[in-house]
Amino acid sequence: MAKSGRSLAMAPLWLITLLGATLTVLGVYVQSTAESPVANVVAGTLAALGGGVIGATISLYFAAGEGRDALYAVRELLAGSFAARIRSAEADLKPVRQVWHYYYLTERGGAFLWRYWTYRFDQGGVPSSLATEITDISNGKEHVYRVEVGVRGGRMIMVESPAQGNEPPIIAVTPNFTEVYQNIRAGVVLLKSWDGNDLLTKCLWSTSPLARADGLEVVVEDEPILEDVWDRVFGRNNRIFPSTRDGGRNVPRRDAGGSLVEPGRAGDAVSGE
């Protein structure tokens, strides 16, 4: 008598579960005894694979009912897990796993403009890894990008690489990203503009919209809002391209309120702001 596709696929499920549990326990053990960054990365990888395999058993049950081979699904899962190149402690990724309104400054036709995107970092992902794909349709063309996020010492690093072609990746670095009391984060992003120029430019992350957008572009009237927000948030604790010229005392900084302060004169706001 012919057996159903589901019964055929259920046979290796206990093996799959055992594999996931073994990898998870091994990852926890390695992390508890780790004494080097490499060991931490290995531990995160093992735990991610184990958790992903265990979580996949439920979906495998339904997949088998559709005649899909369970072992083939496991191979797909493992391939996707190994494809993730950036690993982070899950505790560091937790504040990032939500919906983010992202704004960045770029260039087109010799003029600068702010663009907008919504990142759904709350969806999917395995422990210690945050990766997704986005599709950007601009000028009638579809562009697919793979997005990976990592956190190091509170700094969030996002790498956005094209699925096809030789376009250089977009790399955004945002300090103090895991400080959950802030609703807005400001950072810098390295990208190639529409005009083909390499830019080290501004970016903003927010848990709620900051400006009106027409599709993927911020309306011109609201661009000054983003400029002011970036100056205030990023300038609060960061100095951009400091210099040693003139004794290194001519680079202004900002106080806790965002006002420019003369070097060497903490608390005295620069006149004219």
For residue range 29-67, list pLDDT tens digits in order. 666 676 666 566 666 666 666 666 656 655 555 555 544
H or E segment at 174?
strand 170-174
Same domain? 138 vs 197: yes
The answer to the question of residue 248 being in a domain is no
The answer to the question of residue 134 being in a domain is yes
Quote the pLDDT of residue 126.
Answer: 72
Asked if 227 and 198 touch (Cβ cutoff 8 Å), the reply is no
Same domain? 130 vs 224: yes
CATH code, domain with 144: 2.40.128
Asked if 179 and 154 touch (Cβ cutoff 8 Å), the reply is yes
Task: HSE, CB side, 13 Å, CA atoms: give it for residue 145.
Answer: 19
What's the total number of domains in the chain? 2
Angle of helix 70-83 relative to helix 37-65, nearest 10 degrees? 150
- Range among 128-132, 147-151, 208-212 rated most confident: 208-212
* pLDDT exceeds 70 at position 211: yes
User: What are the residues facing 151 on neighbouring strands?
Assistant: 156
* Terminal-to-terminal C-alpha distance of the chain: 84
User: What are the residues facing 213 on neighbouring strands?
Assistant: 218
Angstrom distances, CA of residue 257 to CA of 100, 155, 260: 25, 22, 9
Same domain? 72 vs 12: yes
12-26, 86-100, 154-168: lowest mean pLDDT where?
Answer: 12-26
The answer to the question of residue 245 being in a domain is no
Same domain? 119 vs 197: yes
154 dihedral zone (left: phi>0; alpha: psi -120 to 50; beta): left
Question: Of 83, 117, 146, which residue sits at a domain end?
Answer: 83
Same domain? 98 vs 225: yes
The answer to the question of residue 216 being in a domain is yes
Query: Residue 11 carries which side chain, given as an amino acid letter?
Result: A
Quote the pLDDT of residue 1.
Answer: 46
Asked if 151 and 129 touch (Cβ cutoff 8 Å), the reply is no
10 vs 74, higher pLDDT:
74
The answer to the question of residue 190 being in a domain is yes
Q: Is-above-0.75 flag for pTM?
A: no
* pLDDT exceeds 70 at position 217: yes
Same domain? 105 vs 67: no
The DSSP-derived string for 88-152 is: --HHHHGGGSSEEEEEEEEEETTEEEEEEEEEETTS---TT-EEEEEEEEETTEEEEEEEEEEEE
Same domain? 134 vs 188: yes
The answer to the question of residue 205 being in a domain is yes
Q: How many CB atoms lie within 10 A of CB 70?
A: 23
Q: Are strands 155-162 and 198-206 parallel, antiparallel or unpaired?
A: unpaired
Tokens 């390499």 — which residue? 198
158-163 long-range contacts (CB < 8 A, ≥24 apart) are 159/86, 160/134, 163/133
Mean pLDDT, residues 204-225: 96
Same domain? 105 vs 75: no
Mean pLDDT, residues 79-92: 72
**List of residues 6+ apart from 66 with CB closer than 8 A:** 5
pLDDT band at 22 (very low <50, low <70, confident <90, very high): confident
Q: What percent of the chain has pLDDT over 70?
A: 59
Q: Which tokens is 169 given?
A: 């990746």
The answer to the question of residue 88 being in a domain is no
Residue 41: which domain range?
Answer: 5-83
Same domain? 213 vs 98: yes
The answer to the question of residue 272 being in a domain is no
Same domain? 129 vs 230: yes
Same domain? 13 vs 35: yes
